[in-house]
Amino acid sequence: MAGNTTLVKELREKTGAGILDCQKALVESGNDIEKAIEHLRQKGLAAAQKKAGRETNEGLIAAYVHPGNRIGVLVELNCETDFVARNEEFQSFVKDIALQIAASSPSFVKREDIPARLLEKEQSIYQAQAKEMGKPAAAWPKIIEGKLEKFYQESCLLEQVFIKDPTVTIKDLLAQKIAKIGENITIRRFTRYQLGQE
Protein backbone atom coordinates (compact mmCIF):
# COMPACT_ATOMS: atom_id res chain seq x y z
CA MET A 1 0.00 0.00 0.00
CA ALA A 2 2.91 2.35 0.82
CA GLY A 3 4.27 1.84 -2.71
CA ASN A 4 0.84 2.68 -4.09
CA THR A 5 0.75 5.89 -2.03
CA THR A 6 4.12 6.85 -3.51
CA LEU A 7 2.80 6.19 -7.03
CA VAL A 8 -0.34 8.26 -6.34
CA LYS A 9 1.85 11.12 -5.05
CA GLU A 10 4.13 10.93 -8.11
CA LEU A 11 1.13 10.84 -10.46
CA ARG A 12 -0.45 13.84 -8.74
CA GLU A 13 2.78 15.83 -9.04
CA LYS A 14 3.09 15.00 -12.74
CA THR A 15 -0.54 15.60 -13.74
CA GLY A 16 -2.18 17.80 -11.10
CA ALA A 17 -5.13 15.36 -11.01
CA GLY A 18 -7.07 14.60 -7.82
CA ILE A 19 -6.21 11.69 -5.48
CA LEU A 20 -9.22 9.57 -6.47
CA ASP A 21 -8.59 10.11 -10.20
CA CYS A 22 -4.94 9.11 -9.71
CA GLN A 23 -5.87 5.98 -7.76
CA LYS A 24 -8.41 4.98 -10.41
CA ALA A 25 -5.93 5.61 -13.26
CA LEU A 26 -3.28 3.47 -11.51
CA VAL A 27 -5.75 0.62 -10.99
CA GLU A 28 -6.83 0.76 -14.66
CA SER A 29 -3.22 0.86 -15.87
CA GLY A 30 -1.94 -1.91 -13.54
CA ASN A 31 0.24 0.59 -11.64
CA ASP A 32 2.05 1.60 -14.86
CA ILE A 33 2.77 5.30 -14.24
CA GLU A 34 3.17 6.17 -17.96
CA LYS A 35 -0.12 4.50 -18.91
CA ALA A 36 -1.82 6.22 -15.95
CA ILE A 37 -0.51 9.62 -17.12
CA GLU A 38 -1.82 8.91 -20.64
CA HIS A 39 -5.21 7.87 -19.20
CA LEU A 40 -5.44 11.09 -17.15
CA ARG A 41 -4.39 13.21 -20.15
CA GLN A 42 -7.14 11.67 -22.28
CA LYS A 43 -9.65 12.25 -19.49
CA GLY A 44 -8.44 15.85 -19.18
CA LEU A 45 -8.78 16.39 -22.93
CA ALA A 46 -12.33 15.03 -22.85
CA ALA A 47 -13.23 17.33 -19.94
CA ALA A 48 -11.62 20.28 -21.72
CA GLN A 49 -13.57 19.58 -24.93
CA LYS A 50 -16.85 19.67 -22.99
CA LYS A 51 -15.96 23.15 -21.69
CA ALA A 52 -14.55 24.46 -24.99
CA GLY A 53 -17.74 26.22 -26.11
CA ARG A 54 -18.17 28.22 -22.91
CA GLU A 55 -17.57 31.99 -23.01
CA THR A 56 -14.34 33.37 -21.57
CA ASN A 57 -14.75 37.07 -20.79
CA GLU A 58 -12.57 37.32 -17.67
CA GLY A 59 -8.87 36.68 -17.26
CA LEU A 60 -5.51 38.38 -17.04
CA ILE A 61 -2.98 40.29 -19.07
CA ALA A 62 0.50 39.48 -17.86
CA ALA A 63 3.89 40.96 -18.65
CA TYR A 64 7.19 39.11 -18.53
CA VAL A 65 10.60 40.66 -19.06
CA HIS A 66 13.46 38.20 -19.39
CA PRO A 67 16.54 38.86 -17.22
CA GLY A 68 18.83 41.19 -19.14
CA ASN A 69 15.85 43.23 -20.40
CA ARG A 70 16.29 42.16 -24.03
CA ILE A 71 13.07 40.11 -24.41
CA GLY A 72 9.61 41.09 -23.17
CA VAL A 73 6.18 39.46 -23.50
CA LEU A 74 2.61 40.67 -23.05
CA VAL A 75 0.03 37.88 -23.03
CA GLU A 76 -3.74 37.70 -22.50
CA LEU A 77 -5.40 34.57 -21.14
CA ASN A 78 -9.15 34.42 -20.63
CA CYS A 79 -11.31 32.34 -18.29
CA GLU A 80 -15.00 32.30 -17.39
CA THR A 81 -14.99 34.04 -13.99
CA ASP A 82 -13.10 36.70 -12.09
CA PHE A 83 -12.77 34.16 -9.25
CA VAL A 84 -10.61 31.89 -11.43
CA ALA A 85 -8.63 34.87 -12.78
CA ARG A 86 -7.52 35.50 -9.18
CA ASN A 87 -6.78 31.79 -8.61
CA GLU A 88 -3.10 30.98 -7.96
CA GLU A 89 -3.16 28.00 -10.37
CA PHE A 90 -4.48 30.19 -13.21
CA GLN A 91 -1.98 32.97 -12.49
CA SER A 92 0.88 30.47 -12.43
CA PHE A 93 -0.31 29.09 -15.79
CA VAL A 94 -0.34 32.62 -17.28
CA LYS A 95 3.28 33.10 -16.12
CA ASP A 96 4.28 29.76 -17.66
CA ILE A 97 2.72 30.78 -20.98
CA ALA A 98 4.54 34.13 -20.93
CA LEU A 99 7.81 32.32 -20.21
CA GLN A 100 7.10 29.85 -23.05
CA ILE A 101 6.54 32.73 -25.50
CA ALA A 102 9.76 34.45 -24.39
CA ALA A 103 11.79 31.24 -24.77
CA SER A 104 10.23 29.67 -27.87
CA SER A 105 9.23 32.73 -29.91
CA PRO A 106 5.99 31.52 -31.53
CA SER A 107 4.35 33.76 -34.15
CA PHE A 108 0.74 32.63 -33.70
CA VAL A 109 -1.48 31.16 -30.97
CA LYS A 110 -2.91 28.36 -33.17
CA ARG A 111 -2.57 27.09 -36.74
CA GLU A 112 -5.92 28.63 -37.74
CA ASP A 113 -4.35 32.07 -37.10
CA ILE A 114 -1.76 31.63 -39.86
CA PRO A 115 -2.66 33.71 -42.95
CA ALA A 116 -3.38 31.59 -46.05
CA ARG A 117 -0.76 33.60 -48.03
CA LEU A 118 1.98 32.57 -45.61
CA LEU A 119 0.96 28.90 -45.76
CA GLU A 120 0.96 28.96 -49.55
CA LYS A 121 4.42 30.55 -49.53
CA GLU A 122 5.75 27.88 -47.13
CA GLN A 123 4.24 25.09 -49.25
CA SER A 124 5.85 26.43 -52.43
CA ILE A 125 9.23 26.65 -50.64
CA TYR A 126 8.89 23.03 -49.43
CA GLN A 127 7.92 21.88 -52.92
CA ALA A 128 10.94 23.63 -54.42
CA GLN A 129 13.17 21.99 -51.78
CA ALA A 130 11.74 18.53 -52.57
CA LYS A 131 12.31 19.14 -56.29
CA GLU A 132 15.87 20.37 -55.64
CA MET A 133 16.60 17.21 -53.60
CA GLY A 134 15.55 15.16 -56.64
CA LYS A 135 12.54 13.58 -54.95
CA PRO A 136 9.85 12.19 -57.29
CA ALA A 137 6.77 14.41 -57.75
CA ALA A 138 4.56 11.69 -56.23
CA ALA A 139 6.43 12.06 -52.93
CA TRP A 140 6.09 15.86 -52.73
CA PRO A 141 2.70 16.02 -50.95
CA LYS A 142 4.01 13.79 -48.12
CA ILE A 143 7.23 15.83 -47.82
CA ILE A 144 5.27 19.11 -47.82
CA GLU A 145 2.89 17.77 -45.16
CA GLY A 146 5.79 16.71 -42.91
CA LYS A 147 7.52 20.07 -43.25
CA LEU A 148 4.24 21.93 -42.62
CA GLU A 149 3.76 19.98 -39.35
CA LYS A 150 7.24 21.06 -38.26
CA PHE A 151 6.39 24.66 -39.23
CA TYR A 152 3.22 24.49 -37.07
CA GLN A 153 5.21 23.12 -34.12
CA GLU A 154 7.70 25.99 -34.36
CA SER A 155 5.27 28.81 -35.21
CA CYS A 156 2.13 28.04 -33.17
CA LEU A 157 2.16 28.37 -29.40
CA LEU A 158 -0.42 25.60 -28.86
CA GLU A 159 1.63 23.14 -30.95
CA GLN A 160 4.92 23.82 -29.14
CA VAL A 161 6.46 21.48 -26.61
CA PHE A 162 6.25 22.94 -23.09
CA ILE A 163 9.72 24.17 -22.07
CA LYS A 164 9.25 22.91 -18.49
CA ASP A 165 8.04 19.44 -19.56
CA PRO A 166 8.99 18.23 -23.06
CA THR A 167 6.47 15.35 -22.86
CA VAL A 168 3.57 17.84 -23.04
CA THR A 169 2.50 20.33 -25.71
CA ILE A 170 0.98 23.68 -24.73
CA LYS A 171 -2.36 22.40 -26.11
CA ASP A 172 -2.17 19.40 -23.70
CA LEU A 173 -1.12 21.64 -20.82
CA LEU A 174 -4.08 23.94 -21.53
CA ALA A 175 -6.44 20.94 -21.51
CA GLN A 176 -4.99 19.78 -18.17
CA LYS A 177 -5.53 23.24 -16.64
CA ILE A 178 -9.12 23.40 -17.93
CA ALA A 179 -9.81 19.98 -16.40
CA LYS A 180 -8.13 20.88 -13.09
CA ILE A 181 -9.54 24.40 -12.69
CA GLY A 182 -12.99 23.46 -14.02
CA GLU A 183 -13.48 26.41 -16.38
CA ASN A 184 -12.83 27.01 -20.04
CA ILE A 185 -9.54 28.86 -20.59
CA THR A 186 -8.31 30.43 -23.82
CA ILE A 187 -4.97 31.90 -24.78
CA ARG A 188 -6.27 34.92 -26.65
CA ARG A 189 -3.23 36.83 -27.92
CA PHE A 190 0.34 37.80 -27.20
CA THR A 191 3.08 40.18 -28.27
CA ARG A 192 6.76 39.34 -27.98
CA TYR A 193 9.39 42.04 -28.11
CA GLN A 194 13.06 41.37 -28.74
CA LEU A 195 15.51 44.22 -28.57
CA GLY A 196 16.51 45.39 -32.05
CA GLN A 197 14.02 43.15 -33.88
CA GLU A 198 10.78 44.04 -35.67
Class of the domain covering 2-51: mainly alpha
> Do the bridges between strand 71-79 and strand 161-162 make them parallel or antiparallel, or are there none, so unpaired?
unpaired
Q: From CA 5, how far away is CA 130, in angstroms rounded?
A: 53
Class of the domain covering 115-154: mainly alpha
Q: From CA 105, how far away is CA 72, in angstroms rounded?
A: 11
Is 58-109+156-194 a domain of CATH 3.30.479.20?
yes
Q: What is the pLDDT of residue 82?
A: 87
Q: How many CB atoms lie within 10 A of CB 178?
A: 23
Q: Helical H runs in 156-195?
A: 170-181
Specify the DSSP class assigned to residue 54: S
Strands across the sheet containing 186-194: 58-65, 71-79, 186-194
Q: What is the pLDDT of residue 84?
A: 87
Q: From CA 196, how far away is CA 102, in angstroms rounded?
A: 15
Q: How confident is the model at residue 1 (pLDDT cuts 50, 70, 90)?
A: very low
pLDDT digits (tens, 9 = 90+) for 20-46: 778 888 888 888 888 887 777 766 654
pLDDT digits (tens, 9 = 90+) for 48-103: 555 555 566 788 999 999 999 999 999 999 998 888 889 999 999 999 999 999 99
pTM over 0.75: no
Q: Where in the chain is the domain with CATH 3.30.479.20?
A: 58-109+156-194
Q: Where in the chain is the domain with CATH 1.10.8.10?
A: 2-51
Q: From start to end of 11-153, where are the E strands?
A: 58-65, 71-79
Which SS3 state, helix, strand or coil, does residue 67 take? Answer: coil
